[in-house]
């Protein structure tokens, strides 16, 4: 690359790992990717991680990306972090974490979520205030769990952060978040663009403990602190963007802004399964999260807890490779190994039914794929309906889905989604869309450009178009019937 070109760094700090991309800020060329793992601990609904480990992984990943890009560190001009949503990071008087972070998929806070949802006028009022009805995943429920179960920690808290907020603060020393990630807390109102005082009062949460909300995730939070610059091996002049949540960054990486409505709804297959679309209107539905996009428009989203990780667990139990799947036939698997968020069954367990002597292991694995894909696509139908669209209408079904996440690289996942959706798919060629979206935020922070326009010019959301196949209505109806019959038994 020419000597005058600048490099930006985008970080995807997810549940399982940190990934950092080094990107040519002008062309969007991906120069290198660095990776480092995270550790998640806990059982019986608990899911926690050490925030200091996130920082160590970020440093390792960024250093690897800059090294492998083969460019001088002096060429790096900006950095942004996109992080897993909802996690609760509690800081003490010294600015360090008081305890491991409670992660989005920690379901111990389900009772607190239900109790909160009944307050302040009930679910409809929560939808109006925050865009979402409290569930176990949201940060508000986790904070309430901490107050009730670990009051000594809650009393000692001097700062409350989301995962990406915490890492941004480690980079630049400024407590800042953005509208997108803030909209997943349960105490921020996307419509008003501010923290909700009544919700904070209900939670006994002092707003002084929270980060300021930047206008956008591309807003400049500051520059690297001397300590961060030394740790990363980068100049102290590197600009730090406010960053955002992982789903919001993926939308940026795909070039999704608020100008249109659901031209290409997104299905993301990762540890969790998510469906989302960018829109300028805010649909309100109890089963959806009415998130803000990082630019302050809207990103309605449905999320399931059990996706690729749950299916991989079935492959391990069966002694199969993850691609050794066959259609489930008469077998139905509801792979709710970690409880479930959509549908809201936080204490559910997995269910397998329809086994015969002749059932092959590959069919059981295929049924796990089908159960997970059904749950994600069912959430997509809810999202479309909430936006005023008929999911069964041909004009809607003819619109391609954008399939992203680790599962989008798998033959079994892609085939299952095609078969159960009956829709064309676009599989973007870029593999690190969250990190690339963060890189676009970093570049926009440096140049003042629009990050979605930058990502669109970079072409990060383009890819192969897979034509539709006939929808497998029989399998869909069979899974739907089992779910309807089994729901009472899935509740622990």
Q: Which of 227-231, 254-258, 426-430 has the highest mean pLDDT?
A: 227-231
| pLDDT, position 491 | 43
Q: Provide the percentage of residues in the chain whose pLDDT is more than 90.
A: 79
Quote the CA–CA distance of 303 and 245 in Å, as a whole number: 14
Cα atoms found within 13 Å of the Cα of residue 321, Cβ hemisphere only: 5
Find out whether 126 and 133 touch, Cβ atoms under 8 Å. yes
Q: Does the pLDDT of residue 387 top 90, yes or no? A: no
Quote the CA–CA distance of 186 and 137 in Å, as a whole number: 10
- In tens, the pLDDT along 78-112 reads 999 999 999 999 999 999 999 999 999 999 999 99
Report, as an integer, the average pLDDT of 444-451. 96
Quote the CA–CA distance of 111 and 109 in Å, as a whole number: 6
Q: Does the pLDDT of residue 346 top 90, yes or no? A: no
Distances (CA, A) of 198 to 34, 120, 130, 204, 252: 42, 8, 11, 10, 31
Domain residue limits, the chain: 7-247
Report, as an integer, the average pLDDT of 176-194. 95
Q: Does the pLDDT of residue 261 top 80, yes or no? A: no
Task: Enter the DSSP assignment of 96.
Answer: S
Q: Does the pLDDT of residue 258 top 80, yes or no? A: no
Pairing of strands 76-83, 244-245: parallel
User: What are the residues whose beta carbons fall under 8 Å from the beta carbon of 34, sequence distance 6 or more?
Assistant: 19, 20, 22, 60, 61, 62, 63, 64, 65, 66, 67, 68
pTM of the model: 0.87
Quote the CA–CA distance of 364 and 358 in Å, as a whole number: 11
Q: Does the pLDDT of residue 284 top 80, yes or no? A: no
pLDDT band, residue 1 (cuts 50/70/90): low
Quote the CA–CA distance of 418 and 440 in Å, as a whole number: 30
Q: Does the pLDDT of residue 2 top 60, yes or no? A: no
pLDDT band, residue 489 (cuts 50/70/90): low
Q: Which two tokens stand for residue 472?
A: 């497998």
| Fold adopted by 7-247 | Nucleotidyltransferase; domain 5 (3.30.420)
Q: Does the pLDDT of residue 3 top 70, yes or no? A: no
Residue 295 phi, psi (nearest 5):
-90, 5
User: What are the residues whose beta carbons fall under 8 Å from the beta carbon of 405, sequence distance 6 or more?
Assistant: 268, 269, 270, 307, 308
| pLDDT, position 492 | 40
Quote the CA–CA distance of 276 and 274 in Å, as a whole number: 7
Least confident of 21-30, 281-290, 443-452, 478-487: 281-290
| pLDDT, position 4 | 62
Report, as an integer, the average pLDDT of 307-315. 96
Report, as an integer, the average pLDDT of 303-327. 96
Q: Provide the percentage of residues in the chain whose pLDDT is more than 70.
A: 97
| Residue 324: active-site member | no
- In tens, the pLDDT along 8-55 reads 999 999 999 999 999 999 999 999 999 999 999 999 899 999 999 999
- In tens, the pLDDT along 455-475 reads 999 999 889 899 999 999 999
| pLDDT, position 435 | 97
Q: Which two tokens stand for residue 205?
A: 């949460």
Helix (H, G, I), strand (E, B) or coil at 119: coil
Report, as an integer, the average pLDDT of 208-224. 96
| pLDDT, position 395 | 82
| pLDDT, position 388 | 84
Task: Enter the DSSP assignment of 100.
Answer: P
Residue 387 phi, psi (nearest 5):
-90, 10
Active-site residue, from 181, 246, 338, 344: 246
Q: Does the pLDDT of residue 263 top 70, yes or no? A: no
Task: Enter the DSSP assignment of 41.
Answer: B
Residue 449 phi, psi (nearest 5):
-75, 170
Q: Measured at the alpha carbon of residue 12, what is the angle toward residues 10 and 16, in degrees to the nearest 5?
A: 155
33: β partners: 21
Taking each helix axis as running N to C, give the angle between helix 473-490 and helix 411-421, from 0 to 180 degrees, rounded to the nearest 10. Answer: 100
Residue 49 phi, psi (nearest 5):
-145, 150
What are the DSSP calls for 341-410, one per residue? TTTTBTT---EEE---TT--HHHHHHHHHHHHHHHHHHHHHHHHHHTT--TTSHHHHTSPEEEESGGGG-
User: Across all residues in the chain, what is the average pLDDT?
Assistant: 93
| pLDDT, position 11 | 98
């Amino acid at each position: 690359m020419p000597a005058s070109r600048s490099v930006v760094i985008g970080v995807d700090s997810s549940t399982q790992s940190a990934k950092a991309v080094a990107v040519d800020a002008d062309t969007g060329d991906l120069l290198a990717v660095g990776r480092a793992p995270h550790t998640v601990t806990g059982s019986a609904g608990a899911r926690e991680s050490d925030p200091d480990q996130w920082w160590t992984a970020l440093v390792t990943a960024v250093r690897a990306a800059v090294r492998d890009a083969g460019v001088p560190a002096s060429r790096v001009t900006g950095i942004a972090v996109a992080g897993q949503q909802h996690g609760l990071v509690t800081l003490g008087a010294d600015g360090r974490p008081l305890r491991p972070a409670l992660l989005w998929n920690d379901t111990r806070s389900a009772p607190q979520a239900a109790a909160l949802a009944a307050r302040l006028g009930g679910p409809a009022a929560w939808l109006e205030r925050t865009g979402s009805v409290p569930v176990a995943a949201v940060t508000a429920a986790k904070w309430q769990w901490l107050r009730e179960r670990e009051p000594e920690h809650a009393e000692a808290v001097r700062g409350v952060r989301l995962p990406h907020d915490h890492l941004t603060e480690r980079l630049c020393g400024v407590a800042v978040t953005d509208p997108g990630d803030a909209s997943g807390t349960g105490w921020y109102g996307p419509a008003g663009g501010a923290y909700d005082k009544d919700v904070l009062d209900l939670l006994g949460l002092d707003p002084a403990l929270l980060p300021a909300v930047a206008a956008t995730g591309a807003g400049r939070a500051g520059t690297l602190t001397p300590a961060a610059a030394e740790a990363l091996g980068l100049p102290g002049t590197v600009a730090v963007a406010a960053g955002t949540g992982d789903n919001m960054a993926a939308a940026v990486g795909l070039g999704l802004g608020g100008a249109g409505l659901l031209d290409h709804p997104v299905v993301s297959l990762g540890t969790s399964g998510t469906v989302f679309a960018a829109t300028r209107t805010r649909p309100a539905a109890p089963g959806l999260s009415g998130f803000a996009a990082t630019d302050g428009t809207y990103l309605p989203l449905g999320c399931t807890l059990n996706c690729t990780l749950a299916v991989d667990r079935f492959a391990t139990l069966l002694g199969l490779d993850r691609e050794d799947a066959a259609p489930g036939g008469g077998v139905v698997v509801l792979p709710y190994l970690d409880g479930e968020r959509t549908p809201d069954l936080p204490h559910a367990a997995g269910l397998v039914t329809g086994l015969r002597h002749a059932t092959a292991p590959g069919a059981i694995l295929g049924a796990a794929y089908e159960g997970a894909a059904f749950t994600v696509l069912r959430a997509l139908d809810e999202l479309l309906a909430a936006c005023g669209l008929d999911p069964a209408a041909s004009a809607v079904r003819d619109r391609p889905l954008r399939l992203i996440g680790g599962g989008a690289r798998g033959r079994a996942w892609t085939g299952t989604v095609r078969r159960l959706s009956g829709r064309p798919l676009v599989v973007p060629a870029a593999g690190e869309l969250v990190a690339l979206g963060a890189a676009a935020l970093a570049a926009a922070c440096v140049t003042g450009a629009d990050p979605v326009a930058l990502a669109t010019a970079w072409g990060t959301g383009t890819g192969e178009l897979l034509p539709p196949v006939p929808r497998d209505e029989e399998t869909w109806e069979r899974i739907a019937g089992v779910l309807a019959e089994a729901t009472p038994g899935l509740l622990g």
